[in-house]
Structures are given as structure tokens and as C-alpha cells.
Structure 1
Amino acid sequence: MSRSRVAAAFGVGALLGAFGVGSVLLSSCESDTPRADADLPSSELNLLMIAINNVAWGHMSLAGYGRDTTPNLDRWARDAVVFENFYSHCSWTLPAGTSLFTSLYPYTHGVLDRYHGNLLDDDVMPLAEVLSRNGYETAAFTGGLDYKPIFGHMRGFDEIADNDNFTSFETTFAQAREWIESRDDGGGFFCFVHGYDAHSPFNPPDRFKGVFSNLDGKNITVTTQYSLRGYQAEEGRYVAHYIWNEDPFLKESAEKRSNKRFSMERRVELTQDDIEYLTALYDEEVLHIDSLLDRFLRSIDGEVLRNTIVVILSEHGEMFAKHGRFGRAGTVRGNLYDDVVHVPFLLRAPGLEGKRVDALAQMIDVMPTVLEIMGISPPVGAQGRSLLPAVGGVVEVNDFGFAGGRFNHARKKQHPFFWAETINESIRSRRWKLIRELIHPAGKGWDRIEAAETFELYDVMDDGDEGLNVADENPRVLAELSDRLATWAAASKKSGAAEPATVEVPRAMEQEAREKGYW
């Protein structure tokens, strides 16, 4: 089947101006972009994209983690391109997933809040729509929540499974397999599969529980029924809040909470055994995903896979009592430490040999990379760059990587733990990483949180754990990166559409998420 190559346009202008960093904000789809030294067939290739939500690169044995959490993926990756320095732009799924599907930074696509300004502009063309216009059948099988179609980033999918929130890969992999097998052989497809199996609350299946975790003789004080978000209090102690399942905006819920021993405002001081236990449960969830992923890929017809680009990635990771935070939050929403934003990106495609690539790569680069392999032009305005030149060792694609967004800027309803307005931004190079955090810049917010602006500078080549803030010792580096970060943020916002529209999140969707220990 021949396809017309549709050059899609976003309707949001490409970022203009060079920053002395290889034009990192400009689309890299020019005709003179160096290509990888590989024979890449560009016609009739399918795309299978799998998002293993909340799986951090640092918790994969593929990355050298001390526990054997991804044994099957380790073997599969021998024939894949493994991007070892791949980073997300946000600490949570909705803005990160929107960047994945649009090749736009969060400030540009504007979908930064689940309740306000949460609808992607109609002029932005997501990946599924690009491929649909090029003749592909498209389908998505997800765990719901931030991949519900109401937010606009799922436009272009012919079929989206109407799954419950927190649907497991046990279900979505089965749905995807059935859909792939039921297709005729008349054309290409794009299948997106996603699951929240590794997302908090951590409750691995019985057959995996106990592989890494052990309750014997341990001082375990937490329940794993609900998500925990916490921060470091006095004397190094970690205090966590349960994300309670009752709706905080209903009067009857507030009345019930006042009489319940286990309330939404309940805090728990985490013991070291608690932290180690929750970490082990998370690792068991990763091991579970690895098993499901292996079974799914083995179930797909070999001839189909030989003609399919396979992408495996994660939108964000998780944090366990580091940097004064527990569970990607702390006293604020947002977290840009590498525990959270350093995530896996694995790519297998006809004509690409398995190798490890240490070039700096970002979430917005995924879309241009797969589209180049498929022989399709990215939309005008795409901010990501194809990583194929880095795969071929031709050129370093990104001199800098960026992350950032704002949370609760409209001060709309949120869980009380997230009422503070925050801005979190970061810039990284090969050696340096700068994190800027601004807490409720309007001087408002939860009265237990003090307004503050902080800058943290890390030499990530020598301090990969981001343990020593060296901002005071390196004022010139701090000043230069701060300027670049501010320039990027301003340009990203300017290049985006106007303030996104707001779509009402259905109350049933909210309540279902809370009943399962989240939101």
C-alpha cells in the first residue's frame, strides 16, 4: 500500500532564535540533518509503543541496578538501541505523555494541570493523528487516568480502549495482542500500550511479592493500600501523607474524615524499614512488568515484529526518601531529580543494530526519531530532534536537555497536600545539571509551606546521585545555566498557543482514582 506523505502542521510557531547550543529548541527535521549509518526501510513499518509508567532507569538491572528487576528486558535489549541518558520533562504523566505525543515541551503544549488548562489545542497534531493521516490504523490500550482521551493528546487514535483507571498490563497487553492479530495485512499500524502496574500504591501480585521484600523482624508501620507522598522533616526523619480515597471536595467526606481514625490528613513517620520495604515492593512491580512484557512480545507473530518499530519507555520514575522527598513530591508537586526524570528509552527497528547510546536525549525526541525511520516528516514546530545521528555516532544531537512546568497555577481544587503553587525547572549538559524550584510565587498557598526560590547545581559526571549542591562553588556555571534556563522557559512559553481550554474531569473518573489510592 502506498501512502501519501502528509506534512502536518501544528499551528504553533517553531521556536525562533539560536541559543548557542546547537539550536536545541529548533526542530531538527531539515533535509541536511545527518542520518545514522543504517539501512532503514521507510515504508510499511508498524509502530508498537509501550509505556511502562513510573519505571525509573535507575531501578532496572538493564541499567546496572543491584536487583535483577528486568532479566527479560535485559536479553531483549541486546538487539535494541538503548538510550542510557534519556530524560523526561516532568515528574508526572499527563504533561510528560503530552510531550511524548507532540514533540513539544510542557510550557509549549501548555497541558500542565489536570484540572485547569488541561485540553491540548486543536491546532496541535499528536503522533497518532500524524500517522492516521499517513494511512496507518491506530489504537491505544491504556491504564486510563492521564491517558484518557478527554485531554486531547490522544487525538488520532481510531480505537481507544475504555479501560478503568489503573488497568494493568495484564489487560492492556491482551487487548493489544487481540487487536494486532485481528487486523488484516493491508497496511501499517500504530499501537500504543500502557499500564500503571509500577505506579503507587505498590501491591505486586503474590507470585512476585517476597522476591525482594521481607517483613520478618522489620518495623513496618505503613499500609500499602494508598499512595504515599512525603518529605524530610527534622533530624532526617521522613514524614509521609497518605493520599486518601475520599473526595476532599464533598462536605460529607470532610465530615466523615473528622470522625475517622484513618483520615486523608493522616501523616506517618517512615521508619527505615518502611522505606526499604516500599522500595522492594516497587522493584517487585518492575519485575512483574518485565515478565508481562516478555510474554506479550513473545506472543506477537514474528513476521509482524520483523516489520515493526518497537519503542519501550517510561514517562517518569519514582523516588524513595532522597533529596528530602518521598514519592515524587515532598511538600510540593513536582520533582526533577534524576530518580524521577531519568527514564528508559529502548528502540528496535529493522536496519538498526543493538547498541548502547550515551548521547543526551529527551522525551520530545522520540516522535521525530520514529517518524524519520518511517519516512514521515514531523509536524512543523516540533521541538524534538531525531536521535538517529547519535545512534550512528555522527553527531551529538542535544547540547542541553530541559525539563520544567508549573503546578496548580490556577489555584484550582487539588488534594490538600498539593495545594501549593510551584514552578520546577531544570537544565542539564553532559557535566552539569541545574534545578530551579519556586514555591507559590504569588506568596500564597498552604500555610505550612514557606515561599522560597532555590537553585541546586550538580556535577553529574562526578555526582550521579545529585548528592552535593555545588552552586556556591561554581557561580559562573550557575549564572550561565540560570540564564539559559530562563531563556528556554520564556521561548517555550512564547512559542505555544494561548492558555489551553479547560475540560471538566468527570467526577466518576476522579472518584475511581481516589478509591484506588491515587489523586
Structure 2
Amino acid sequence: MDEPNVLFVILDSVRRDRTSAYGHDRPTTPNLDRLAEEATLFENAYTPAPWTLPSHCAMFTGLFPSEHGVTNGFSDVSLRLPDSVERLTERLSADGYRTAGFSNNPWVGRLSGLDRGFDEYVEWDLEIGVDGDTDINTTRDRLYSAAHTALAQAARQPVFLLKRRLFTSNLVERATRWMRTTAADEPPAFTFLNLMEAHSPYFPPAKAFTELGLSPPGPIEPRLLNTKLLAYVLGKADLPPERRQRVLEFYDASLRYQDRKLGELLETMKETGTYDDALVVVVADHGKTLGEHDRNGTPPHSTRSVNTDVPLIVKRPGQETAERIDHPAELTGLFDLISDPTMSPTAALSGDEGALVEDYVPHTGRTSEPTTRWRVLTDGEHRYVRSDDGREFLFGPDGNPVPEDQEPLSSRFTEMMDSRVARLSEPEEIDDSDHEELSRGLESQLEDLGYLE
């Protein structure tokens, strides 16, 4: 069989429980729902790390954070993957694929080294990072790319406000141009997108609210809500119940708008005749805490289900019948699945002893706090959480702590974790000279996203 075209979409910060494909009562993801009707839906998929940078690096290398070495972007020597670590795109290029990437997130691209192996790459601020020969960028795109740094420095506020619909729409438009341009080509095409409407700050269009039966905001509410939400993300304020409900409405409306863009990508594949025989992977890199847990609690809120449990839907080439898999799935297996589409998704993604998650906290920069590593092992029902300093917790299917008298269950998870960790490889040494200073425009964006205080 010829190598199939591949569409790989990472929905940044999308919680499993807020997608209608997984039972949410609001129709937040109708296009994802339709995809699931003819694809494989993994009911228990877990991120390798509960924030963007290490999670994307894990999916693009098949390695967990402790193996690829990019664990916490502000305490590590470097933000970039070592050159010696093979990226998914490098493997695909060696197999004859043409590759293009379109990223909404500043972590995902040149900053982390995830742009390597792409023939075309467009960064979060619409800078053309890698310019290939498919001519998917218009003259206007190239002019903006050449001037983007000056625009970002001269007009910080528009970057904050417009990174949503303007940037997302532009990236999706360029991706559809790429798919149309390469549809009839002999070499197969790999198309990657990171879309981050579900990552705060939230500026969904009024139509997305009305489609969900929600009250659209006025002109001032989004700015006020996002300012208060950023204070919560940075641990400087609480998220009271009434505000949390409105934040969740903004979150759901953002999902609805993002799903519309996903629908445009899928429809382009159908129009060009590439959909049926393509491999389509849609997944989130992590979830998001929105008031459910104490952000300063122990174990960290980032190890709880709202952050680690993600949607994952895979349409195999030629697949027409829906499947549901309840065995725990690890996203590091996407490297093998995408580089070898003949593999069974279940075989590629299923962990032997449940699914492993690694978290290095804190995630936020400019802090004097020491970094602590936590690991999570889950079998889809129970969740075992352990830190390197010996603190351990076991939660049941209801999310509550398991009684201390359940010693056999605790011992089983301790042994499973020891066995799983023992199979992890040592990370490659990171080159100290590879460190890249953050530009002021990039710093501003990371501050708006809650990564820098």
C-alpha cells in the first residue's frame, strides 16, 4: 500500500470532559463528533506531560520528558530538543513525505526545535519559519512575516487581542492551501497544526456563543474576564463559582469556534479526494484547570484528570466504522503510529502497565522555587501519583483518595510504577550553547499566556 497522507492536529489545552464527542452536554465539537462516527475514539488517553512544551516534544519524538530532556522551559539549560533526538518530521521526510506545519503556540516551532524536518513552517505570529517551494504564502503573508517583529514591538496589545481568530484563521487558510496544492502530488503529504483557542485568553466570536445557546459578551467583558483569569492562572487570585461558570462558557464557545476550523480542514481533504485514504489524528496536548482544584495543593493540580485526560481520535486509512477503545493510551505512541500507518492504533498507543504522565513543577518562569518531578500512573480508573521525594497518593475512579487500608492496591501501583520507570531511557545531553534568548515580542506573548510572571 502507498504511504497515506497524514493530518495531525493538536488541539492545545482541550479538556476531554468539555468535548461533546466525549459526552459534554453542550455541542462544543460537532465536527469532531462526526469524525468519531467513522474513526477510533480512545476513551482513556493521557498526555505525557500536562503542559505544552514537554507534551509536544514527547509526541514528536516518542519519548517521555525525562527521556527527551525538555521538562521545564525555564529551569532547563535549553528550551530546545537536542539535535541528536530524531523528530517525527525527520523520519517522515526520510520516508519521502512532504511536510508542512502551522503553529498557534510560541513553544511549538523554532523556539523548541520542533520546526526541524518541515518543508514549510509558519510560526505562531505568522512569521514564515521555513519557506518551501509550494507557494502557499501570499505576497501579503511574506510582507507581514518580514515586518512581524517590528509590529509586535510597536503594538503589543493587538498581538494579545488578535492572536485568536485572525491568527487561527490565517493558519488554517494556509494549511488548506497546502493540502490543495499537494493533493495531486506523488509524494504523500504530512500536515500538522497546533490550534489553541482553548488556551486562555479567550476571545471567541459571538456566533459561537449563540450556537451553544449562551449569552454573547459585550465589548468590555472579554478583556475584564481574561485579566481576572490570568491572575488566577498565575496564582494571584481565586476563581469564584460565578466567574468560573462564565469562564467555562467562554471556554466552550472557544471550542465551538475551533471545531469550525477543524471542520474546514476535514472538508478540504474530502473536496480534494484525499480524506478516505488518509490517516487523521486529532488530539489534545493537555487539559486545563479552571477552578476544580487548589492550584497550590498537593499533589499538584496539573496531575489531576482535568489536566492529564485528553481527547484522542484516530481515523485509519480506509476506516469507515466507528470504534471505541477503553484501554489506557499514551500519546508517545503517536510517533510510531504516524511514522508507520500500517500499525494498529491500539498496539501503538496502549501502555503495558497503564498510562504514564510526567510533570516538572513549577511550569511558570521567573520563580525561585525548586523544580519537583511528579509522575502519574493510571489504569483508566485509579490514579497513582508520586513525587521524587517520596510523597505518594492513590485516587479512585471517583477522584477521591483511596482509603489507607487498601494496601494491596497501593502496593500493586507502586510496583507498576517502578517497573514502568525502569524502562525509561536516559536523556541526551543538552548543549548549553544552544540556548536562545527570548525576544520582547515572544516574552509578551508568553506573559499573556500565563507562562511568565
Q: TM-score range by the shorter chain?
A: 0.7 to 0.9
Which residue identity does 1:92 align to in structure 2? W
Change (3 A) 1:430 1:57: closer
* Separation of aligned partners in 2, 1:388 and 1:351: 17
The CA deviation at 1:506 is 2.1
SS in structure 1 opposite 2:80? Answer: coil
Which residue identity does 1:175 align to in structure 2? R
* Separation of aligned partners in 2, 1:212 and 1:330: 35
Q: 1:477 aligns with which of 405, 409, 412?
A: 409
Q: Which has the higher mean CA deviation after the structures are superposed, 478-487 or 67-76?
A: 478-487
Change (3 A) 1:498 1:71: same
> Is residue 332–residue 420 contact of structure 1 (8 Å, CA) maintained in 2?
no
SS in structure 2 opposite 1:275? Answer: helix
SS in structure 2 opposite 1:149? Answer: coil
- How many pairs does the alignment contain? 403
Which residue identity does 1:64 align to in structure 2? G
Residue aligning to 1:82: 41
Which residue identity does 2:276 align to in structure 1? R
**TM-score of the superposed pair, with normalisation by structure 2:** 0.80
Change (3 A) 1:296 1:423: same
Alpha-carbon displacement from aligned partner over 1:106-144 (angstroms, at most 9, x marks no partner): 110111122323221222111100000111111101113
Residue aligning to 2:294: 324
Higher-Rg structure is 1
* Separation of aligned partners in 1, 2:233 and 2:14: 21
| Structure 2 residue 393 is the aligned partner of structure 1 residue 456 | yes
Residue aligning to 1:71: 30
* Separation of aligned partners in 2, 1:487 and 1:140: 36
- Which structure 2 residues correspond to residues 339-358 of structure 1 after superposition, within 5 A? 339-352=306-319, 353-358=321-326
> Is residue 226–residue 518 contact of structure 1 (8 Å, CA) maintained in 2?
no
The CA deviation at 1:498 is 2.8
Change (3 A) 1:508 1:332: farther
Alpha-carbon displacement from aligned partner over 1:412-435 (angstroms, at most 9, x marks no partner): x9244x845232211112442101
SS in structure 2 opposite 1:495? Answer: coil
Change (3 A) 1:197 1:136: same
Change (3 A) 1:221 1:103: closer
Which residue identity does 2:352 align to in structure 1? N
SS in structure 2 opposite 1:498? Answer: coil
- Which structure 2 residues correspond to residues 228-307 of structure 1 after superposition, within 5 A? 228=229, 241=232, 243=234, 267-300=236-269, 301-307=271-277
SS in structure 1 opposite 2:191? Answer: strand
Which residue identity does 2:407 align to in structure 1? P
Structure 1 residue runs of 5 or longer lacking an equivalent are 1-40, 230-239, 244-264, 376-385, 442-452
The CA deviation at 1:177 is 0.5
Residue aligning to 1:99: 58
The CA deviation at 1:181 is 1.7
Change (3 A) 1:275 1:225: closer
> Is residue 284–residue 311 contact of structure 2 (8 Å, CA) maintained in 1?
yes
* Separation of aligned partners in 1, 2:238 and 2:303: 24
Change (3 A) 1:511 1:308: same
Change (3 A) 1:88 1:212: farther
* Separation of aligned partners in 1, 2:176 and 2:315: 18
| Structure 2 residue 359 is the aligned partner of structure 1 residue 405 | yes
* Separation of aligned partners in 2, 1:58 and 1:470: 23
> Is residue 138–residue 159 contact of structure 1 (8 Å, CA) maintained in 2?
yes
Q: 2:122 aligns with which of 152, 161, 164?
A: 161
**TM-score of the superposed pair, with normalisation by structure 1:** 0.70
Change (3 A) 1:285 1:215: closer
The CA deviation at 1:44 is 3.1
> Is residue 360–residue 372 contact of structure 2 (8 Å, CA) maintained in 1?
yes
* Separation of aligned partners in 1, 2:401 and 2:14: 26
| Structure 2 residue 382 is the aligned partner of structure 1 residue 432 | yes
* Separation of aligned partners in 2, 1:149 and 1:114: 14
SS in structure 1 opposite 2:374? Answer: strand
> Is residue 53–residue 314 contact of structure 1 (8 Å, CA) maintained in 2?
yes
> Is residue 54–residue 316 contact of structure 1 (8 Å, CA) maintained in 2?
yes
- Which structure 2 residues correspond to residues 110-259 of structure 1 after superposition, within 5 A? 110-115=69-74, 116=76, 117-164=78-125, 166=163, 168-183=167-182, 185-209=185-209, 211=212, 213-214=214-215, 223-226=224-227, 228=229, 241=232, 243=234
Change (3 A) 1:47 1:371: same
| Structure 2 residue 446 is the aligned partner of structure 1 residue 518 | no
> Is residue 140–residue 157 contact of structure 1 (8 Å, CA) maintained in 2?
yes
* Separation of aligned partners in 2, 1:333 and 1:503: 28
Alpha-carbon displacement from aligned partner over 1:220-261 (angstroms, at most 9, x marks no partner): 9993234736xxxxxxxxxx5465xxxxxxxxxxxxxxxxxx
Change (3 A) 1:478 1:509: farther
Change (3 A) 1:185 1:390: closer
* Separation of aligned partners in 1, 2:80 and 2:348: 34
Residue aligning to 2:335: 367
> Is residue 5–residue 189 contact of structure 2 (8 Å, CA) maintained in 1?
yes
SS in structure 1 opposite 2:8? Answer: strand
> Is residue 201–residue 227 contact of structure 1 (8 Å, CA) maintained in 2?
no
Structure 2 residue runs of 5 or longer lacking an equivalent are 126-158
Alpha-carbon displacement from aligned partner over 1:185-233 (angstroms, at most 9, x marks no partner): 12111110111111011221122236465599xxx9993234736xxxx
* Separation of aligned partners in 2, 1:360 and 1:336: 16
Which residue identity does 1:68 align to in structure 2? P
* Separation of aligned partners in 2, 1:473 and 1:509: 54
Residue aligning to 2:304: 337
The CA deviation at 1:360 is 1.4
